[in-house]
Amino acid sequence: MSLSRPHFLLVDDHALFRMGLHQLLADRWPEASVSQAVSWAGAMAHLGASTQAGATDVVLLDVRLPDADALDHLDALRAVAPQALVILMSADSRPERVARAREAGMRGWIPKSATGQQIIAALESVLAGGLAYASVPYEALNVAAQTPAARAAERPDAFSDRQRDILRMLGRDMPNKAIARQLGVSETEVRVEVSWLTEWLEATSRREAYAAAVARGVLDA
């Protein structure tokens, strides 16, 4: 495995998210190769083929796919790609789900609330031989001390100040370029944030994400 030229496999059925994450990876690792799959079946087919022609180093796997809940099939994934470093991505970071991933040997869990910087930090940690659970809500790492908790996504305080700022700007119909300029970050990072915030809030549009944030108390009306 090369830290400068890793091979990533992105598995997610949301095209906008895949494009944003692909660009984020390309900006950080310009020499990396990036493959994509939109389903569990597609991911397994790709990984099966990659064992014959250059293994995939890191798999970024959305837990909820159209044809599977990945948590129910992690043993099969490990059997097909035993050397791959697998990081799960999800808007649902309930403690028991994160615990299942850790027990199955997954190298990390990235909540859909993570920032672009947190995503890169998680990948750098895993590529360096570590784990990537730092951005998971604290209670998700302490299942024994946690009663069946409310999902972190349902807590207004689970959102960062930057995410609230982005949501406010979505409410003003600001394009990604203008948001990036105002926050002093890359347009790619904004694109990933917007995609994840929209999915996390179970919205179908940018305006709907803003409205959902207000309705849930994340933002003041």
- CATH of residue 79's domain is 3.40.50.2300
pLDDT at 51: 58
- Residue 118 in any domain: the answer is yes
- Residue 112 in any domain: the answer is yes
Domain coverage including residue 14: 7-145
- Residue 51 in any domain: the answer is yes
pLDDT at 72: 93
Do residues 29 and 126 both lie within one domain?
yes
End-of-domain residue from the set 86, 115, 145: 145
Q: What is the CA radius of gyration of the chain?
A: 17
pTM listed for this prediction? 0.66
CA distance 67 to 169: 34
pLDDT at 144: 33
End-of-domain residue from the set 145, 176, 204: 145
pLDDT above 90 (res 39): yes
Two structure tokens written together for 186 = 């890359």
- Residue 43 in any domain: the answer is yes
- Residue 116 in any domain: the answer is yes
End-of-domain residue from the set 93, 111, 145: 145
Strands of the sheet with 108-111, listed across from one edge: 33-37, 7-11, 58-62, 85-90, 108-111
Spatial CA neighbour of 50 closest among 80, 22, 74 = 80
Do residues 185 and 132 both lie within one domain?
no
Do residues 36 and 82 both lie within one domain?
yes
Please count the structural domains in the chain: 2
pLDDT at 154: 47
- Residue 154 in any domain: the answer is no
Q: How does pLDDT run across 91-138, given as a tens digit for each residue? A: 888 878 888 888 888 999 998 878 888 889 889 888 888 888 766 654
User: What's 204's domain CATH number?
Assistant: 1.10.10.10
pLDDT at 52: 53
Do residues 48 and 100 both lie within one domain?
yes
Mean pLDDT of 168-187: 91
Q: How does pLDDT run across 62-99, given as a tens digit for each residue? A: 999 999 999 999 999 988 888 889 999 998 888 788 88
Mean pLDDT of 42-60: 81
